[in-house]
């Protein structure tokens, strides 16, 4: 098969799709990945052919930009979705052209993130299947409310309706630019309603999120999508730090940026209280040189290698990092900032491997210290170890590749 994989978002959006692309290549298929340029490191590490889409998501998350303001001032669904829609709407014509060009001769399009509506339109133009993928469950269910809404705020009887509402609001925000690009680039008629009947494959663990029984047959929970970078080797300094004492605490907020650096740094130093710690700056902009000597600053390091060598992970509760910490069998301290991070923080809490979420936008040392103390409890470590053992039995990439092969074969 010849496939194009299309996504747009932060590194957390691109990394699992790069792993899926690698698995498809290993299965004998020709695959090309399209994503934001600043997120293609994982594709390079996995030797996945890739091209950059128009845009700069890292700049959009920088302090003072619209998306950064929406995420760090309110973090609410409406403000964040409007900022994301503004990014997508400005790039939709270019994305439509770029995806249309990349999909020539393809047997299917694998779509995700902010490019989903573009990918669905191009697949229609090419007359090939569109296979939706994601790390956030958007298929309506009565089991839980939309992950984009604050946990516990939606009455259970409105859970299913909340998904439909959020999906429709997103479509309305993207509709005008999508239909204009459909006409201008692909010669397609305007679409009135959001897509809902295409296959959806979720790179999430059934141990953290069991597949809802009321989902239609087109939705699958595959397991986490993660692949080892064969060329990566740990720096000697990192190996030396790990060998020099007890397992450290990992701290990293991924692609989060724009928050109060000084306040966050002070809260971390106070809460860590002299313990050994690994700090990954990511896109935060925090200067590692300002940290005390008990902190070791790490660069881009594969979670599957690093997390089993730590005692716990303090992170922003993005889907990928939440899964990687759980799979490594270590407790989490969830520090969500916006969007679906609150949903995954709640899943970790419900699994008993994390305490109450610590709000990232107003990080307090006292709350962080309490969450660390919870993660250090023997019963929490036991639950984390048991969860990791269950997740180790899952192979999300094998499940996803098999499903994609069956779907494409059925369409030929």
- pLDDT tens sequence across 89-116: 889 999 999 999 999 999 999 999 899 9
Lowest mean pLDDT among 246-260, 303-317, 347-361, 395-409: 246-260
Tokens 């070791």 map to which residue?
296
Cβ atoms of 249 and 309 within 8 Å: the answer is no
Q: Greater confidence, 105 or 255?
A: 105
339 pLDDT band, cuts 50/70/90, is: confident
Cβ atoms of 380 and 374 within 8 Å: the answer is yes
Averaged pLDDT, 131-140: 96
Question: Is residue 189 situated within a structural domain?
Answer: yes
Question: Is residue 349 situated within a structural domain?
Answer: yes
Same structural domain, 337 and 399 = no
Range of the domain at 262: 236-392
Same structural domain, 25 and 141 = yes
Question: Is residue 230 situated within a structural domain?
Answer: no
Cβ atoms of 129 and 123 within 8 Å: the answer is yes
Cβ atoms of 149 and 77 within 8 Å: the answer is yes
List, in sequence order, the alpha helices (H) in 205-334: 236-243, 261-272, 303-306, 319-327
Token pair belonging to 128: 């090939």
Same structural domain, 255 and 151 = no
Question: Is residue 173 situated within a structural domain?
Answer: yes
Question: Is residue 231 situated within a structural domain?
Answer: no
Phi and psi for 134 in degrees, rounded to 5?
-175, 170
Q: Give the tens place of pLDDT for each residue, 109-123.
A: 999 989 999 999 999
Q: Give the tens place of pLDDT for each residue, 179-210.
A: 999 999 999 999 999 999 999 999 999 999 99
Q: What average pLDDT does the chain have? A: 91
pLDDT at 68 over 60: no
Name the domain count of the chain. Answer: 2
Lowest mean pLDDT among 79-83, 166-170, 385-389: 79-83
Same structural domain, 379 and 407 = no
CB atoms within 10 A of CB 411: 12
- Residue 297: strand pairing partners: 279
CB atoms within 10 A of CB 26: 13
Same structural domain, 213 and 344 = no
pLDDT at 73 over 60: no
62 pLDDT band, cuts 50/70/90, is: low
Residues 286, 222: Cα–Cα separation, whole Å: 35
77 pLDDT band, cuts 50/70/90, is: low
Same structural domain, 195 and 255 = no
299 pLDDT band, cuts 50/70/90, is: confident
Same structural domain, 27 and 81 = yes
Q: Which residues contact 293 (CB under 8 A, 6 or more apart)?
A: none
Q: Which CATH number is 306's domain given?
A: 3.40.50.2000
pLDDT at 324 over 60: yes
Question: Is residue 73 situated within a structural domain?
Answer: yes
pLDDT at 70 over 70: no
Task: Give residue 236's pLDDT.
Answer: 95
Same structural domain, 214 and 144 = yes
Averaged pLDDT, 32-36: 97
229 pLDDT band, cuts 50/70/90, is: low
Helix (H, G, I), strand (E, B) or coil at 25: helix
Same structural domain, 285 and 148 = no
pLDDT at 257 over 90: no
Same structural domain, 374 and 320 = yes
**Residue of 69, 178, 68 whose CA lies nearest to 114:** 178
Residues 72, 336: Cα–Cα separation, whole Å: 11
Question: Is residue 265 situated within a structural domain?
Answer: yes
**Residue of 286, 281, 297 whose CA lies nearest to 248:** 297
Question: Is residue 103 situated within a structural domain?
Answer: yes
């Amino acid at each position: 098969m010849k496939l194009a994989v299309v996504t747009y978002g932060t590194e957390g959006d691109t990394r699992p799709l790069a792993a899926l692309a690698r698995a498809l290549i290993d299965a004998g298929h020709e695959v090309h990945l399209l994503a934001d340029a600043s997120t293609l490191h994982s594709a390079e590490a996995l030797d996945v052919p890739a091209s950059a889409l128009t845009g700069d998501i890292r700049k959009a998350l920088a302090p003072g930009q619209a998306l950064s303001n929406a995420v760090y001032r309110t973090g609410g669904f409406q403000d964040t979705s409007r900022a994301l829609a503004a990014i997508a709407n400005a790039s939709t014509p270019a994305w439509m052209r770029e995806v249309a060009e990349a999909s020539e001769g393809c047997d299917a399009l694998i779509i995700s993130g902010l490019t989903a509506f573009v990918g669905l339109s191009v697949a229609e133009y090419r007359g090939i299947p569109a296979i939706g993928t994601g790390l956030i469950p958007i298929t309506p269910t009565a089991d839980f409310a939309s992950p984009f809404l604050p946990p516990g705020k939606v009455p259970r009887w409105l859970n299913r309706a909340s998904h439909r509402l959020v999906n429709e609001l997103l479509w309305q925000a993207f509709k005008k630019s999508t239909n204009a690009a459909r006409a201008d680039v692909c010669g397609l008629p305007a679409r009135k309603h959001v897509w809902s009947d295409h296959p959806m494959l979720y790179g999430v663990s059934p141990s953290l999120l069991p597949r809802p029984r009321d989902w239609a047959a087109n939705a699958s929970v595959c397991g986490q999508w993660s692949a080892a970078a064969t060329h990566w080797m740990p720096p000697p300094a990192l190996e030396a730090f790990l060998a020099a004492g007890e397992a450290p605490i990992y701290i990293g907020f991924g692609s989060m940026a724009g928050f109060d650096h000084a306040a966050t740094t002070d809260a971390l130093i106070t809460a860590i209280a002299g313990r050994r710690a690994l700090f990954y700056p990511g896109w935060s902009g925090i200067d590692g040189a300002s940290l005390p000597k008990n902190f070791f600053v790490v660069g881009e390091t594969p979670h599957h290698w690093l997390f089993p060598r730590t005692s716990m992970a303090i992170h922003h509760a993005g889907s990928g990092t939440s899964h990687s910490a759980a799979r490594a069998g270590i407790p989490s301290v969830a520090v969500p900032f916006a969007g679906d991070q609150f949903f995954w923080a709640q899943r970790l809490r419900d699994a008993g491997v994390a305490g109450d979420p610590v709000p990232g936008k107003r990080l307090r040392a006292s709350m962080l210290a309490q969450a660390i103390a919870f993660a250090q409890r023997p019963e929490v470590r036991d639950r984390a170890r048991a969860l990791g053992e269950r997740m180790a039995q899952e192979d999300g990439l094998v499940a996803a590749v098999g499903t994609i092969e069956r779907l494409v074969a059925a369409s030929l």
